[in-house]
Amino acid sequence: MIFQDAPSPNHPYHSQNNDINLWFMYKCMEIYHGEMKILKCVNSLKPRHENPLLSDLLLKYSHVKSQQIENLGKIFLIIDLPLEGKKSPIIDFLVDECVRYKSLFPQNFEGHYHLSQTLLAINVVVQNSYSWISDMVQDSNLEDLSELVTANLELENNVGIQLMDWSTSFDR
């Protein structure tokens, strides 16, 4: 073990409610799995678009996801969790919608609108997950994790603003 007192699924944080600590670790694993899947989906969408605004947005989104995955890797190292994910049914469903978009929808208003709404839904789910993790980190006084989790939450919030701007910029 890197840190003898570090939590893991077999050695959770010492507190009155160990179930919350396990849930924290599972949520980190769930978000990691989701971020990896989102990054793969966004990277598969990038070459398909001739729209410069959308291409630029997908490039930034991909970069943000890479940063967030790197930060999650550091979090896993600090709390001595194995670097692996746990399925998230909501994120899996929404990412599958993006993949479906890639094969079914044309590059027109309806297709772009559907993609924008799906990406916004993914963003909301991820924002809420990071927000919950941030609250847990603050409540547990885990100073080592606070900066990384806050950075990921801020990155996700900024992406959400850009996605919202893009989704409201469509002309029929």
Local confidence pLDDT in tens for the 172 residues of the chain: 344 454 555 554 454 456 667 777 888 888 888 888 888 888 887 666 667 777 788 888 889 999 999 998 898 888 777 777 778 888 888 888 877 776 665 566 677 777 888 888 889 999 998 998 898 888 877 788 889 999 999 999 998 888 888 888 765 4
In angstroms, what CA-CA distances link 52 with 47, 48, 166? 11, 11, 11
Q: What is the pTM of this model?
A: 0.77
pLDDT of the residue at 70: 92
Residue 132 domain-assigned?
yes
Find the domain containing 110 and state its range: 18-167
Domain annotation covers residue 61: yes
What's the CATH number where 78 sits?
1.20.1260.10
Residue 6 covered by a domain? no
Contact 145, 75 (CB under 8 A): yes
User: What confidence tens digit (pLDDT) does each residue in 33-65 have?
Assistant: 888 888 888 888 766 666 777 778 888 888 999
HEC letters along 66-95:
HHHHHHHHHHHHHHCCCCCCCCCHHHHHHH
- 72 is a domain residue: yes
Does residue 36 fall inside a structural domain? Answer: yes
- 9 domain-assigned: no
The reply to whether 94 falls in a domain is yes
List the beta bridge partners of residue 8.
11
Domain count, the chain: 1
Give residues with Cβ within 8 angstroms of 130, minimum separation 6: 31, 149, 152, 153, 156
Residue type, 157: N
Does residue 77 fall inside a structural domain? yes
